[in-house]
Amino acid sequence: MLEERGIPTVAIGLVRPHMEKTRGPRGLWVPFPLGRPLGEPEDAAFQTRVLRAALALLERAEGPPILEDFPEDAPGQRERAGWTPPFALPAPGAPQSPAAWAAALSAEMALVTPWSARALARFGRSTVGVSAQPPEAWPGYASRFLAGELPAPPAPLASPALALRFLADDLKACYMEAAQADGAAPSINQINAWFFQGTVAGGFLLALRSAAAASDDNAFKTVGGRFLVPAQWVPKEA
C-alpha cells in the first residue's frame, strides 16, 4: 500500500527463505542472530553500515523486487575467552517426571533470581514480565504441559500455548540477564551455550519442545517448535 502511494520501502530481514517467499519490494538479508538485525549492541559504526546498505537499495534503478545479502558477518565483539557466569550452578540432572522437572527448576531458579535482581540494579531495565505470572509460578505451570495438560492461561493471555511462549521468554530473559549481572558481557552464543547446555532451565525448555512435538494440540505444537528453543540449540536427536 505504501509503494502504491509512491512511498518506497525497504526491509532488513534475518530469515532469507521468508524474504524470498514474501518478495517485498526491497530487502536486505543480514546473517546475524535472531533479534539482532543490526548486529552486536553498542557498535554504532557497524550498525550504521547496515542501515546505509539497506537505505542504498532505495536508490537502485532496477526492481522492485530487490533482495540483497549484506556482505559482512556481525563482529563477535563480545566473545570472552573462558567466560562463565558470575555464579555457579550444580550440574543439571535428568528429571524423569513433570514434578521432578518442576522441583529441579525451582531449586535452580532460587540460585539464579538473586543475580537477575543484581542485573536489574546494574542496568536499570529488564525484559522479564511478559508472562503475567510471578517467577515462583513458572515451574509448576510449565510442568503441567509435560504432564499432557493445557492449563488455563493467566489473564490477560488468551491461550495456554501463548502463556507458555511468554513464560519461556521470561525464563530465558531471567537467566540471561542474571548471567550478565557482573563483569564484561559475553556473546549471545556464549550465553545460549551456557543456558541450553548447562542449566536445568535450558533442559526444561528442550523437554517442553519434545512434548509439544508429540502433542495433538496445534497451538502447543507450533509454540514448542518455533518459540521455545532456537534451532541451532536443538540437539540432533531431540
Give per-residue pLDDT as tens, 137-149: 999 999 999 999 9
Residue 182 — pLDDT band, cuts 50, 70, 90? very high
Domains: count for the chain: 2
Nearest to 191 by CA among 179, 199, 207, 183: 179
Tell me: do 10 and 49 sit in the same domain: yes
Tell me: do 143 and 208 sit in the same domain: yes
Tell me: do 113 and 163 sit in the same domain: yes
Structural domain containing residue 182: 98-233
Sheet holding 11-13, edge to edge: 11-13, 26-29, 66-69
Tallying the residues shown for the chain, one arrives at 238
For residue 215, being part of any structural domain is answered with yes
Give per-residue pLDDT as tens, 67-79: 999 998 877 656 7
For residue 82, being part of any structural domain is answered with no
pTM: 0.78
Tell me: do 228 and 116 sit in the same domain: yes
Give per-residue pLDDT as tens, 56-69: 999 988 878 999 99
For residue 93, being part of any structural domain is answered with no
For residue 197, being part of any structural domain is answered with yes
Tell me: do 117 and 8 sit in the same domain: no
Give per-residue pLDDT as tens, 79-100: 778 899 999 999 998 899 999 9
Tell me: do 104 and 222 sit in the same domain: yes
Q: Which three cell numbers stand for residue 2?
A: 505504501
